[in-house]
Amino acid sequence: MVTVVVVGILTMIAVPSYRSYVMRANRTVAKTALVDASSRLESYFIVHKSYTRTLSDIQLQQYLSRDGSTADASTNAIYQLSIEAMDSSSCAAKSGAVGTSYMVMAKPVGTQTSDSTCMNLCLTSTGIRLSSVGTAATCWSR
């Protein structure tokens, strides 16, 4: 009986800690993809003298899997990437022209939508790191 109680207590501690770790690891995949997209957008700007709003123009796909590779939206995707008009006050998608600035956004999909700590992660053309829910310090650290 004591063993069952001990196992129950350990499970109550271990499962939330594991889920938190998985969410943070998935956020790292998104942050890496955002930095990569930003770098590609800057390279695109050098050649075309404006930023694009199309991921395929910079050889990126819309959905990311846990290992950072391309994912199918209906199966194992954890984030959806997009290029939005820049809005440094929040990390919400804004309509408008992209050309002289941009905001790359990673929106959680699938199991990652339960990450209530950060939700959308964004990186602007000026290097500002944002999150739609948490602080940049919380969501962009590590």
What pLDDT digit, counting tens, does each position of 76-100 carry?
899 999 998 776 556 765 655 567 8
pTM given for the model: 0.82
Average pLDDT in the chain: 84
**Starting at the edge strand that comes first in sequence, how are the strands of the sheet with 129-131 ordered?**
63-64, 79-84, 103-108, 121-124, 129-131
Enumerate the β-bridge partners of residue 64.
Answer: 70, 79
What pLDDT digit, counting tens, does each position of 9-53 carry?
767 676 667 777 788 889 999 999 999 999 999 999 999 999 998
Query: Nearest-CA neighbor of 140 among 124, 125, 118?
Result: 118
Enumerate the β-bridge partners of residue 107.
Answer: 80
Q: Which residues neighbour 112 within 8 Å (Cβ) at sequence distance 6 or greater? A: 23, 26, 78, 79
